[in-house]
Amino acid sequence: MGRSTNTLKASDVTVTPIKTKYSQSFYIGDLPGANINYYVGQNGSLSKDGSYGPGFLTYRSALQLYYVSWVSGSQLGTGSSWDNSLQSTAASGTFDDDYRYFPTGSSDQIIVYSIPREVYGEQISRGTFRMQSVDAGSHYNVIDDGNGNLIDTVNANAHVGNILYAQGMVIVTNPSYLTSFVTSVDTTVTFRLVSNAFEYIQAYAVSLDSLSPPYTQLITNGSSLFPNLNITGSTQILCSYYGLYRIGTVFQSTYQPNYNTGLYGCDVSMSDSSGNQSHYLLMQGSTTYNSSNITSPTVAGASWGSNATSPSAINYTVIPSNVPISSSNTYLDIYSNGITTWAKGTISIVSSTGTPIFSIGYAAAAANNHNVFSSSYDSNAPYKLLASSIGGASSNPSMSVSIMDLSSSLAETYVIASGSSIILGNPINSHGWGKRTALPSYISIRLNSISTPSYADVFAFNTSAIQYLAYPPYPTSINLQCTSVNSSGVPTTNANKAIDFNKITIMPYTYDVVETMNIKVSGVTELVVQFQYAYRDAPFKYRDSAGVYHNGNFVAGNINF
Amino acid sequence: MPSYYPYTMSFQAESTIYQTEVRCHVNENDFNYSTNPSCVATASLGSLNANVTGSDFTPFATTIGLYNAQNELLAVGKFGTPYPIPKNTDVTFVIKWDS
C-alpha cells in the first residue's frame, strides 16, 4: 500500500469542548444499585468517652461543609476564604438566592443523598433535578430551582432543602419532609396477630431501601439486616424461600407460620438503630376458616399492638376460604415458587372415566377451578400438602385421602366422588420424598362411604412407590381404611366396621414377582388384590370372603405414577 | 406535609467531551503517485505499469494516518469508500474525533 505524507500546521488542528447532558433516573429501590446512598443525620452531642449517636457524623458533616455560615453561634466558616459551596451568585435575600436552612434543635434530623460522580459527571445540570412520588407526583414533586434550592411544587412550593450540583449532594433539611422519602430513625413498629387460624402471613416491608436485588434476604431474629427484629410468642416465622420481591411500590414477602400452632399471640417488632436507614414491617394475615377471625391490621389498633410511627398505608388482602384457584389467582404459585422443580409434588384426582377433577401442586394449581382453601409448600419445613373440600357433596358417595408428614399429627383430607381414582404424583418417588429429610410417615387413603361399590374403587398403588417407602430407615406402612364393608369385603355405607388395610407385608418389591395385598377384617381375609409389575392395563385378582377369585383390570389412565 | 411515598429521582448529568478536528490538505498535483505493488512493473525496477502512467490515472486515497514528529502512527482514519485524489484541485480531508 502506497503512502504519501504531508505536514500539518498548528492551524490545521482545533479542539472544541462540548458540554453534554444525559438523563439519569432511578426508582427508589434502584438507588443503592447506582451507589446513590442516603444517610439520615441527627443532631446530638459527643459523650465523654467520645461515642455518639446514630447519624451524628452525617449531621455534623453537612453542617460544617454547607450550613455553618448560616447557623448562629457557629465558630467556623466565618473567614473570608471559607467556601460555603454557594450555588447561586445572587445577593442574599434576592429571588435567586441560595437559601440555606439547617435544623439545630435537639435530635433534629436531616437526610443527605450522596450521588457518585460516575453518575452525575461534572455536575448535576441545574434545573433538571427532580424527586417525584411514583403516583405521578401527587404526594410531592421536588425540583431544583437552578440556584441550589429544592422546592416542592405540589405543596405550596415548600423549601425542602438544598442541592449542590458540582458535589452531587442533595440535602433535605425541612423537618416536614424527613419521613417523605425515608422512614425516620429508630422507627419501631409492633404488631400483634391475634388469630390462631392463619394459614399464611404476608409481611410487607416498606422502605427496604438497603436491600439489594434479588431481594432474597431472610428476615429472622437479630439478622444483620434488621438487628432489632424480634419475633416472640410463636415458635417460628419462616420466610419463604421465595424471599422478598417487589410488587408495585412495596417489597413483599410471604411468611408461613408454623402449620400446627399458627401465629397466635405472635408479636413482631422491628427497628433499626443504625441511623443509616430505617424500616417498618407491615404484616397481614388471613384465615381459611372464618373471615370473622381476621383482625383488620390497623397498626395502632389494640389487636395489632402499637407502633411508634404509623406507616402511611397498609396493604391488606384477605384470601377467603372459597377463593377459586385460577390463572389470575397465584397464591399457590407464590407458595410453591420456593420449591425446586423436582420437589414440586402433585396430587391429582381423576374421575373413573379419566376426566381430571382436581390437581394440587405447583404446575396444576392455576389450571383447576375447584375450591381449595389451603395448599402450602415450604422448602424449609417438613413436606406437607394440604387440601380440602372439593367435590363430594354430603349426599354423594365420597372418599378421602390424607398425606401426612412426620411432624404432624393432623390430617387434612380430600373428599372426592365415588368411582374416582387418586393419583399420587411425583412426591412418591426418589426425586420427591426420597430426597427430603422429612418423609411421610404413612399414606392414608380412606373410603368414607361408597354406596355403589365396585372393585374399580380399589386403589392401585405403584409397587415401586411402596418400595421407596419400605426401605429403612423410613417408617413404612400404607393404611387403607374403609368405614364399612359388605359381606364380600366390598366397602359399603351400611356396616359400621372398620377395615385396616395395613397388611402389605411383602417388602421390598422385586420386579416380576406378583405382589399380593391382603385386606382383612378382624384377621379374616376379605379381599386379596394381586399386583403385577407393569400393572397398567394388566389384570389383577381379588378374592372375596368365600375364597372365590375374581379377575379385574386396572383402568389405564387412572394410574399415573 | 407529604407522608412517605416511593419516588423516582431523576436529573441530567453533565460531562464535557473534547472534539478534535484536524484538516489535512492535499494541494493540486500532490499525492498523485502510488507505490501500490499493483502499479509497479515487474520487468524493470522502479518503472510503472503502463496503465497507471496515463494522464487519466488518479490514485485513490483509502486511509489517512496521523503521525507525530517521531513518525509514530497516532491515529488512523479510513474512508467509507476510496476517494480519488483530484489532479488539478486542492482537497482538504477533515478528521474529527471525540475524547
Contact A124 B13 (CB under 8 A): yes
Mutate to test the interface with B, among A7, A8, A177 (most CBs of B within 10 A): A8
As a whole number, mean pLDDT of residues A37-42 equals 85
Contact of A425 with A363, CB cutoff 8 Å: no
Mutate to test the interface with B, among A5, A20, A157 (most CBs of B within 10 A): A20
For B4, the closest of A3, A36, A312 (CB atoms) is A312
- Write the Ramachandran bin of A513: left for phi over 0, alpha for psi from -120 to 50, otherwise beta: beta
Closest CA to A485 of A520, A535, A510: A520
Q: Is residue B69 part of a domain?
A: yes
> Total domain count for chain B?
1
Q: Which residue has the cell 373413573?
A: A352
Half-sphere exposure for A366 (CA within 13 Å, toward CB): 12
- For the entire predicted model, the pTM comes to 0.44
Contact pairs from chain A to chain B, CB under 8 Å: 168
- Do the chains contact at B17 and A31, CB–CB below 8 Å? no
The DSSP result for A418-469, as a single string, is TT-EEEE-TTSSTTTGGGSSS--S-EEEEEEE-SS--GGGS----HHHHHHH
**Which chain A residues are Cβ-neighbours of B8 within 8 angstroms?**
25-28, 130-132, 134
Give the contacts of A219 (CB within 8 A, at least 6 positions apart).
A203, A205, A225, A226, A229, A239, A244, A253, A281
Residue B8 counted as domain residue: no
Q: Per the structure block, which three cell numbers stand in for A486?
A: 359388605
Q: ipTM more than 0.85? A: no
Question: What's the CA gap between A100 and A103, in Å, rounded?
Answer: 10
Query: Quick check: is B47 in a domain?
Result: yes
For A240-291, write each residue's pLDDT tens digit. 222 222 222 233 333 333 333 333 223 333 333 333 222 333 333 333 322 2
Cell 448560616, located at residue: A70
pLDDT interval class at A154 (50, 70, 90): very high
Give the model's pLDDT for residue A182.
Answer: 66
What is the identity of the amino acid at B53? T
Closest approach of A59 to chain B, Cα-based (Å): 21
With CB atoms and an 8 Å threshold, state whether B23 touches A120. Answer: no
Region A48-64: mean pLDDT is: 83
Question: CB–CB of A27 and B8 under 8 A?
Answer: yes
d(CA A33, CA A205): 19
What is the C-alpha to C-alpha distance for residues A168 and A56, in angstroms, rounded to an integer? 21
Question: What is the band of A44 on the pLDDT scale with cuts at 50, 70, 90?
Answer: confident
| Site of grid cell 429508630 | A186
Residue A228 to residue A231: CA distance in whole angstroms:
10
Task: Give dist(CA B49, CA B37) in Å, integer.
Answer: 10
Q: Are strands A478-482 and A443-449 parallel, antiparallel or unpaired?
A: parallel
Closest Cβ–Cβ partner in B11, B36, B65 for A2: B36
The span from the CA of A301 to the CA of A317, in Å, is 17
- Higher pLDDT: A330 or A47? It is A47
Whether the per-residue pLDDT at A433 is higher than 50: the answer is: no
What's the mean pLDDT in B6-10? 88
User: What residues make up the domain containing B35?
Assistant: 20-98
| pLDDT at residue A338, rounded to an integer | 26
pLDDT at B66: 93
Output A287 or A67, whichever has higher pLDDT: A67
pLDDT in tens, A9-29: 899 999 999 999 999 999 877
Cβ–Cβ gap A125/B14 under 8 Å = yes
The answer to whether residue B6 is domain-embedded is no
User: What pLDDT was estimated at residue B50?
Assistant: 77
Task: Judge whether A7 is closer than 8 Å to chain B, CB to CB.
Answer: no
Specify if B15 maps to a domain: no
As a whole number of angstroms, the distance between CA B70 and CA B68 comes to: 5
> Each residue of A311-335: pLDDT tens digit?
322 222 222 222 332 323 323 222 2
Q: Are A281 and A297 in contact (CB under 8 A)?
A: no
Q: Is residue B14 part of a domain?
A: no
Between positions 363 and 422 of A, the ones with CB within 8 A of B are: none
Cell 414491617 sits at which residue? A281
Rounded mean pLDDT of chain A? Answer: 50
For residue B71, tell me if it sits in a domain: yes
**Coil, helix or strand for A176?**
helix
The B residues from 26 to 65 touching A (CB cutoff 8 Å) are 26, 30-31, 33-36, 39, 59, 62-63, 65
Residue B41 belongs to some domain of the structure: yes
Does pLDDT of A368 surpass 80? Answer: no
